[in-house]
Chain A
């Protein structure tokens, strides 16, 4: 028994290392070919997973059984990421920045996933709430000199409070109609930003101070690397907190209740669920994390302006959720990686970029209509899933 579990762990480590170093190679090679090769590889893996279903199931099963070890190993790999990538990737600072952005978008997309994926509240103005967080944090840091440890949670809370503005539509509409209202909300937000002078209008907010945690300035480069490394770890921690929260909420009564509201609202009402309150709660919780993501972004980049929070960004975040697999946390992370990294690789072929990007999404949705990693049956906990 002991031996086999060691072997399982070995396989997990091996798979994760392969993915990890493949990502490094992906970062290293500055050519569109790597992208094409990657897509072909993914297609081959997809094909093989169909053909050798047993082996594939065996491997996924190993991951499920040793999920603690798998997470632990990934965490170690992620902690080492800045240093390993420095050795392998020549432009590692650039890719570090992209990775941070991926993480920020993961946080925002997880917030949206809680609304759109788990509860079925299609929020098309995620970029607006992301923007509320960014602008609140930026404004407070610029004009009131508040430290980042305050501005980031306040940014999240501000996004939640802005979400409350939607409470009347959420009580009265549902489905597509609610989505349309949020769409209008997103437009209104960008329009107001462009016309409000105290947040800089189209100029945006400039020189937002960097994060300064307990006297440690994030602008300092640790161990002769780059100051982005500070942000990398910070965002990583926030991402883990977000994952922790959503993982636990999902595997509890709350996830169940929200899923029920998504799948059959009248039946949920008939089961004693006061659906409106619950929908409002998901709006609040999801928005909080979107706001936090925006606040970190504002501090890191130091400059925010209205074009950062338009419908395009909302659509990107929605795509992350739908393409990765709505209502699946791992799926959302995978989606974020694909949708943020791929356009960066495509920068070389400027003109065809958007087209290829669209093509990729269409192809994935044709072959995996429920997202790359569709949502799984809720197991709550090993102890509950075991018997029976």
Chain B
């Protein structure tokens, strides 16, 4: 079966001064897959996300989304193409309500602007109502309780619900590709499990979305993803299914360190 590539990168290089955060990263993302990315701390996973969402401008290489070269574009220009993301430290606005936090995700498809806001409220309300229904639908997948909290400030929600709001915000614009940056960061095992179930639910609900997850937690990657990239020191060191990657020598080395042979041990 021929699979369509929706995003691929060509020798992405990101340098901060003399430090290479990313070096020759070549990645392909196929349509409708759930892709994972693993790697130890500081291996460049989040940097890679920041590059392909436009928050960092790469110092070398290009990346293409749906066949279009998007290198050097601003985050809001890239997002409009159908590539939305979440952040490692939940970036939701605590002072705004759950509904507001989700509705901002529809920013670039909203039709009502200044004139409608001032003189054509009916059209505006219709639009808000439409997206509100959509937000409710999404929240129902995640946590039906949240539907009753539409007008509650996000700051008063538990951590996992904030994450859910954030993921809903990324999903409401019906992106082609969604990037989840360590969705389980800062959660305990139970919460992580819950969140993984949520991602599974989202998946079964929206068939034509591609999901790209960065994770620390190997278990999460193992249960959710179909294919995995492993990154270390800014370079891709392995690629394949979870079993393949987790048994890879380089990956093991990256996570657990090199096994020293006897001679070296004494030498050191």
Measured in the bound complex, the distance between the Cα atoms of B150 and A87 in whole Å is 50
Q: How many residues of B contact A (CB 8 A)?
A: 47
Spell out B's residues near A (CB within 8 Å). 53, 55, 74-77, 79-80, 84-85, 87, 91-97, 100, 103-105, 107-108, 110, 112-114, 116-118, 121, 124-125, 127-129, 132, 136, 147-148, 150-153, 169, 173
- Decide if A263 touches B74 in the complex (CB within 8 Å): no
Nearest-neighbor residue (CB-CB) of A245 within chain B: B118
Nearest-neighbor residue (CB-CB) of A262 within chain B: B93
Q: Which residues of B contact A256 (CB under 8 A)?
A: 96, 100, 103-104
Q: Does A379 contact B (CB under 8 A)?
A: yes
Q: Which residues of B contact A263 (CB under 8 A)?
A: 93-96
Q: Which residues of B contact A379 (CB under 8 A)?
A: 151
Contact with B along A359-385 (1 / 0, CB 8 A): 000000000000000010111110111
Q: Which residues of A contact B117 (CB under 8 A)?
A: 248-249, 252-254
Q: Which residues of B contact A273 (CB under 8 A)?
A: 76, 104, 107
With A256-B103, A264-B93, A378-B100 in contact, do A270 and B53 touch (Cβ < 8 Å)? yes
Q: Does A266 contact B (CB under 8 A)?
A: yes
- Return A319 CB to nearest CB of chain B, in Å: 21
Q: Which residues of A contact B125 (CB under 8 A)?
A: 380-381, 383-384
With A253-B117, A253-B124, A256-B100 in contact, do A267 and B76 touch (Cβ < 8 Å)? no
Spell out A's residues near B (CB within 8 Å). 245, 248-249, 252-254, 256-257, 259-260, 263-264, 266-275, 375, 377-381, 383-385, 388
Measured in the bound complex, the distance between the Cα atoms of B101 and A259 in whole Å is 10
Measured in the bound complex, the distance between the Cα atoms of B127 and A384 in whole Å is 11
With A245-B118, A256-B103 in contact, do A267 and B93 touch (Cβ < 8 Å)? yes
- Decide if A248 touches B53 in the complex (CB within 8 Å): no
- Decide if A377 touches B97 in the complex (CB within 8 Å): yes
Q: Which residues of B contact A271 (CB under 8 A)?
A: 76, 79, 84, 104-105, 107, 169
Nearest-neighbor residue (CB-CB) of A270 within chain B: B75
**Centre residue among B74, B124, B132, B153 by max chain A CB count within 10 A:** B124
- Decide if A254 touches B113 in the complex (CB within 8 Å): yes
